[in-house]
Amino acid sequence: MTDTRPLCALSIAGSDSGGGAGIQADLKTFAAHGVHGLSAIAALTAQHTRGVTAVHAPPPEFLRAQIDACFADFRIGAVKLGMLANAQIIHAVAGALEQFKPTQIVLDPVMVATSGAKLLEDAALDALRTRLLPLASVITPNIPEAELLLGRRIDDDSADAALTSLLALGTPAVLLKGGHLPGARMLDRLGEGSRRTCFEHARIAVEGHGTGCTLASAIAAQLALGQPLADACARAADYVHGALLHAYRPGLGNVAVLDHFWRSRDESRPRSHHP
């Protein structure tokens, strides 16, 4: 019999009580792409637009129960991985993915805070390298995260070489985000085997919150909808650029939250008619 259930996207990530990043951003992104969103919460954070005040990781067994429940009932077309707080959580997630074998896995290796602080202990970083990278369809590191994965500094001149080195770690595709590199234009580099594709956008003078989460979940949504990886990355990058252009500041901090539904709001606005 034909499975008539719609393809869903599952986010395994941290919860952001401020609503701008993590699970909350992922679910809004899935909804904006017309994809039913599922969640397995791998970390609870107490945070707002001025910072993170507390983090709590659930027992790995409870996280696994959430993942099992999603795969037991839904048709999952893509999985997005975000903040995974420790090595035990990473091993639990890897075990579930090895069992259920989802077709598409987008790994956003959340390892460095906006302040530059390292978020993963060494054991967790090793677990991420050895357990999750080989399972991922694509990883989406920013420059500081790529530097941690490779153990060396990356600048604009060495970014292409870094992309090749990241692929050599054992993942089939890498989208190296260029937001931390200087310049008026932002360049994201996609490597798939020997193929290279670049996505370029004008830099926006906004301190955005949740851009990495949103990009990875937009890629996952596009993959769940059947788009090839390069097209999924291109559409996701355009979507994030628009969401950042429409960003707003709901709290007292300087960071702006992306408008995940900017496209529907743009479409609903009346257009001027000129003679």
Could you report the per-residue pLDDT of 250-267, keeping only the tens digit for each? 999 988 999 999 998 766
User: pLDDT at position 272, please?
Assistant: 37
DSSP 8-state class, residue 112: B
Average pLDDT rounded to a whole number, residues 200-220: 92
Model-level pTM greater than 0.95? no
Residue pair 194/204 in contact (Cβ under 8 Å)? The answer is no
Domain boundaries, the chain: 7-262
Higher local confidence (pLDDT), 112 or 27: 27
User: pLDDT at position 94, please?
Assistant: 98
Instruction: Give CATH for domain 7-262.
Output: 3.40.1190.20
Average pLDDT rounded to a whole number, residues 94-112: 94
Residue 275 pLDDT grade (very low, low, confident, very high; cuts 50, 70, 90) = very low
Average pLDDT, the chain: 91
Q: What distance in Å separates the CA atoms of residue 160 and residue 162, rounded to the nearest whole number?
A: 5
Average pLDDT rounded to a whole number, residues 136-158: 93
Which contacts (CB < 8 Å, 24+ apart) does range 195-200 have? 195/230, 196/160, 196/163, 197/230, 197/233, 197/234, 199/233, 199/234, 199/237
Residue pair 206/247 in contact (Cβ under 8 Å)? The answer is yes
Which of 246, 199, 204, 201 lies closest to 219 in space, CA to CA?
A: 199
Q: How far is CA 247 from CA 26, 91, 110, 209, in A?
A: 16, 35, 22, 9
DSSP 8-state class, residue 117: -
User: pLDDT at position 3, please?
Assistant: 87
pLDDT tens-digit map of 221-233: 999 999 999 999 9
Which of 211, 212, 220 lies closest to 38 in space, CA to CA?
A: 220
Q: How far is CA 50 from CA 115, 162, 209, in A?
A: 11, 32, 11
